[in-house]
Structure 1
Amino acid sequence: MDTEGHSLPSASCGDGRKRRVCYYYDPGVANVDYGANHNMVPRRVAMAHALVEKYGLLADMERLRVRPATEAELRAFHDDAYVRLLRDITPDAYHDGDLRDRARACGVGVPETDETDASAYDNPVIDGLWDYCLRYAGGSLAAARALADGSSDIAINWSGGMHHACRGKASGFCYVNDIVLAIQELLEHFERVLYVDIDVHHGDGVEEHFKRESRVMTVSFHLYDIDRDVKPFFPGTGKVEDVGEGDGKYYTLNVPMKAGMDDERYQQLFRPIMDEVMEKFVPDAVVLQCGADSLYGDRLGEFRLSVKGHAGCVSYLRSFNVPLLLLGGGGYTVNHVASCWCYETAVAVGKEKEISDEIPFHGYEHYYRDQGYKLHFTVPKKNGNKKDDLIDKIKQDALMNLAMLKPPPTTVGEHRPSKRHAINVKAHYDQNQDKEAKKYRWCRREDDDPMERLHRLCGEADRYDFFTELGKRKMSGLVNSTPSDSK
């Protein structure tokens, strides 16, 4: 991973590479089940965390205290009636006719095709829905506050990034829009906030809320294809002509792309466009939604990005040395998602060149068999010119819209949180984090998470069964003792 760009020496780390990074992980999020056949699997966050831990990256970050959001905090964006619905709805209560009608009006429990197929529900009524929403939203709020108080340069919450949720409606597997909540929190302390979305799907919920706002600029790189025989690629929004409204006109930038985007084509768009955005908008903080469904081989996405290609966006925005909030998002091939978010955590702390490509034994390694137990899965080469007219057209359309963007009233030389709102810095961080463990570059396992223990035991059992079976086969003569035995 190259590190050229605009990297500046950090106040805390003079080499210009290291950053003060904080990290949020709530084991409770990973235990949520959307349904056996549903594409969304929150367990992917636990898989990413297990890799982050096993690679020793926790030692390079401060752990944020687990604190679910409050009902009042959700109401800072979401309608009261919708928040009450999320609080009250359960699989059993859904059978009540009135509550069922209210839920469906809000996009919850609405079947796409066949009501008998659980996978047909984008936003199913699931056990623990209210707790789940509070937990992932709380992570993004905690991360935003850690940036706002100036104690961290980069904050990470891989369980966040639910960019489709609307004020009063669930959409695209998203119930609560933690991104809007986090940006609103940042606006209490920073003058201008930039939102960048690299999910394969358009960041419609975030754009819709801020499209009239000049203090927030939204930039979305996504697949846009409405010329399909069946139906448009979800959500069917985000065309280049959508540039915001009123005071927010031209503070919305959409970069719609076609299927098959690879690393080189993607970066031919991302870097020059983001260069211009950073120069014109001069943000005081950046929020990057790192949806991993833009990776090659995703079950729903149609791009061809590698882990390094995807992480190149993180690296490039990190290089501007502006407070950076990293969130998760889409991603439905769970082993690819976990590989990507682990590697991007390494990018955040400046250790991407130091972690091995070999997947370590950590309880989930069997998920990586199809990618050869490597962190970086192979993306097959695709024939064709890397530079084409379509890429030039997309870039020129975006730069033309950016040319209409007026510079901010003042240019800020340093990106500092304002003193407008005092923050209790210690309240955000896990004061029980083992400092001695950090000294020796390891941290304790999440022993309070029963699923972590179960998967660890299952992994150990798998290994035991493998060697037991190997021994049985050897004794029965099915496995050769030495290479010479086969002659």
Structure 2
Amino acid sequence: MSEVISEITFFKDKKSEEKTPLYQSKLSSYSPNVSYHYNPRVSEYHYGVKHPMKPFRLMLTDHLVIGYKLYEKMDLYTPKPASKDELLEFHSNDYIEFLERVTPDNSNKFAQQLKDFNIGDDCPVFDGLYDYSRLYSGASLDATEKLIQGNSDIAINWSGGLHHAKKFEPSGFCYVNDIVLSILNLLRYHPRVLYIDIDLHHGDGVQEAFYNSDRVMSVSFHKYNGLFFPGTGNLDESGVGRGKNYSLNIPLNDGIDDESYIRLFKSIMEPLITSFKPTAIVQQCGADSLGHDRLGCFNLNIKAHGECVNFIKSFGLPLLVLGGGGYTPRNVSRLWCYETSIMTDVNLDSKLPESLPFRNYFNPDCSLHPNLGDKLDNKNTKKYLENVKAKCLEQIRFLNGAPSVQMNEIPPDFKKLTPEEEAEINELNNDGNNEDRIMRDIKDEARNGELVE
């Protein structure tokens, strides 16, 4: 009787399969210490039923990260909320006190302040507004501290990245600018910080905060036509005073695809990093630049967006990774989970975990990588992109290498501008009709069932 020998020497039972990670570690010469900063309370807030900003996208992201067992590859922190004093490092006292006091129930007592502080459909007053702002800002500051202390090489806060908020007012769904607060903190220990923004919308709040500084290089890839929110971000916005040429804008048209975006991104970022020589990098990974976003107009797929993040990671510099825009929650969570896997050097199974809560939310494909690149025609011609690239490279050449820094000047008094610099920034903000600079009317854009989508 011949003996039948099975080629399988180990059979997994149900419990073993449940404990097996849905990832494979990569072989990489750079294996950074990664930290993940998330307070579950931040996903509990609600801008309003018809509002496109949905904080519950952060809960979906966290479920995916847990479902793929990526927590095994990171240090996990539940950060505390930012203190009022920490918010005042950038924002004005009267504005922060307004956020602290106003509620939906007493807002009628703040009629003049609502007008003064730009409160409206884009930036409504909702329950817990101040606490929400403190939570996402506190997570960014906590992540920054881990980088400064050397406990982390890469620190992730997907609840942060709210890049539109200004010193005196909210803007574009953003109330407190956690990015500016984080950069200010980094500047206490780092001579030069590079800020990279790949959100669909121009990172105007960050650019404005450091518009006259040569210690922060602000780079933004975004949709621009002069009317699309926030209406800023043209090629000629390059900084003032000592900050001249330290703001770099890459304006794009509708429908840009994966290949065009990646090629342009790498061709600009590599010489810029070589010239500016940052000692720390902050990357805002807004997901509204993906295709099929509710407010979007690009054709990027998740892997293409992630490749830009992977490219910046490859330089091996201390890296703060933040969220930002993104108004189709299921795709936002897919993207940020995938980019978490990039930071932690693992490959993920494209099929979402069977045990994932809300898995039916990702129907019909239940895939990490749905096709998002087939919605719009690409209006970025090869000639247009080459022209943008040439102008950006010309500006980079004007940098003349990294500026020297006297560390006893840290942090810089970036708030003091000359009258000429103030006039230039005011002209930038007031150029055009503000009524034409709104995103899409969120009431018209609202769909039935948006709350549960």
TM-score by length of structure 1 reads: 0.76
Partner residue in 1 for 2:372:
379
Q: CA deviation at 1:53?
A: 0.6
1:400 counterpart letter in structure 2: E
1:126 counterpart letter in structure 2: F
Q: Give 1:322's match in structure 2, choosing from 314, 317, 321.
A: 317
Distance (whole Å) between structure 2 residues aligned to residue 293 and residue 360 of structure 1:
27
Partner residue in 2 for 1:466:
none
Distance (whole Å) between structure 2 residues aligned to residue 174 and residue 359 of structure 1:
32
Distance (whole Å) between structure 1 residues aligned to residue 151 and residue 373 of structure 2:
42
2:358 counterpart letter in structure 1: Y
Q: Give 1:392's match in structure 2, choosing from 383, 386, 392.
A: 386
Q: CA deviation at 1:391?
A: 1.3
Distance 1:70 1:215, change over 3 A: same
Partner residue in 1 for 2:177:
177
Partner residue in 1 for 2:228:
233
Distance (whole Å) between structure 1 residues aligned to residue 349 and residue 240 of structure 2:
45
Could you give the per-residue CA deviations for residues 348-379 of structure 1, whole angstroms, max 9, x where no partner exists? 0001x243433533212122114x11010113
Aligned residues of 2:338 and 2:348 also touching (Cα < 8 A): no
Partner residue in 2 for 1:105:
116
Q: Which runs of 5+ in 2 are unaligned?
A: 1-25, 412-453
Q: Does 1:125 align with 2:119?
A: no
Aligned residues of 1:287 and 1:325 also touching (Cα < 8 A): yes
Aligned 1:56-135 pairs, distance under 5 A: 56-96=69-109, 99-108=110-119, 110=120, 121-135=121-135
Q: CA deviation at 1:65?
A: 3.6
Distance 1:316 1:380, change over 3 A: closer
Distance (whole Å) between structure 2 residues aligned to residue 386 and residue 300 of structure 1:
19
Aligned residues of 1:359 and 1:374 also touching (Cα < 8 A): no
Partner residue in 2 for 1:308:
303
Partner residue in 2 for 1:149:
149
Aligned residues of 1:265 and 1:387 also touching (Cα < 8 A): no
Partner residue in 2 for 1:189:
189
Distance (whole Å) between structure 1 residues aligned to residue 379 and residue 60 of structure 2:
36
Distance 1:15 1:302, change over 3 A: closer
Partner residue in 1 for 2:162:
162
Could you give the per-residue CA deviations for residues 167-197 of structure 1, whole angstroms, max 9, x where no partner exists? 0101000000000000000001111100000
Aligned residues of 2:257 and 2:378 also touching (Cα < 8 A): no
Q: Considering only aligned residues, what root-mean-square deviation do their CA atoms show, in Å?
A: 2.1
Q: Give 2:277's match in structure 1, choosing from 266, 274, 282.
A: 282
Aligned residues of 2:284 and 2:323 also touching (Cα < 8 A): yes
Distance 1:206 1:325, change over 3 A: same
1:199 counterpart letter in structure 2: D
Could you give the per-residue CA deviations for residues 92-112 of structure 1, whole angstroms, max 9, x where no partner exists? 11021xx1210221112x2xx
Task: Name the SS of the counterpart of 1:208 in structure 2.
Answer: helix
Partner residue in 2 for 1:114:
none
Distance (whole Å) between structure 2 residues aligned to residue 60 and residue 288 of structure 1:
20
Partner residue in 2 for 1:365:
359
Q: CA deviation at 1:151?
A: 1.2
Aligned residues of 1:291 and 1:328 also touching (Cα < 8 A): yes
Partner residue in 2 for 1:212:
212
Partner residue in 1 for 2:200:
200
Aligned residues of 2:197 and 2:286 also touching (Cα < 8 A): yes
Aligned residues of 2:214 and 2:403 also touching (Cα < 8 A): no
Distance (whole Å) between structure 2 residues aligned to residue 225 and residue 183 of structure 1:
28
Distance (whole Å) between structure 1 residues aligned to residue 293 and residue 353 of structure 2:
20
Distance (whole Å) between structure 1 residues aligned to residue 115 and residue 377 of structure 2:
45
Task: Name the SS of the counterpart of 2:57 in structure 1.
Answer: helix
Q: CA deviation at 1:137?
A: 0.3
Number of matched residues? 383
Partner residue in 2 for 1:32:
45
Q: Does 1:336 align with 2:331?
A: yes
Aligned residues of 2:310 and 2:343 also touching (Cα < 8 A): yes
Task: Name the SS of the counterpart of 1:123 in structure 2.
Answer: coil
Partner residue in 1 for 2:22:
none
Distance 1:132 1:282, change over 3 A: same
Partner residue in 1 for 2:9:
none
Distance (whole Å) between structure 1 residues aligned to residue 321 and residue 134 of structure 2:
18
Could you give the per-residue CA deviations for residues 67-115 of structure 1, whole angstroms, max 9, x where no partner exists? 110000000000000000000000011021xx1210221112x2xxxxx
1:369 counterpart letter in structure 2: N
Distance (whole Å) between structure 2 residues aligned to residue 280 and residue 384 of structure 1:
31
Aligned 1:35-50 pairs, distance under 5 A: 35-50=48-63
1:233 counterpart letter in structure 2: F
Distance (whole Å) between structure 1 residues aligned to residue 351 and residue 338 of structure 2:
10
Distance (whole Å) between structure 2 residues aligned to residue 328 and residue 28 of structure 1:
16
Distance (whole Å) between structure 1 residues aligned to residue 356 and residue 205 of structure 2:
36
Partner residue in 2 for 1:19:
32
Aligned residues of 2:290 and 2:298 also touching (Cα < 8 A): yes
Task: Name the SS of the counterpart of 1:271 in structure 2.
Answer: helix
Partner residue in 2 for 1:116:
none
Distance 1:409 1:168, change over 3 A: closer
Distance (whole Å) between structure 2 residues aligned to residue 315 and residue 380 of structure 1:
20
Aligned residues of 1:359 and 1:375 also touching (Cα < 8 A): no
Distance 1:59 1:94, change over 3 A: same
Could you give the per-residue CA deviations for residues 194-223 of structure 1, whole angstroms, max 9, x where no partner exists? 000000000000000001011100000000
Distance 1:249 1:410, change over 3 A: closer
Aligned residues of 1:264 and 1:386 also touching (Cα < 8 A): no
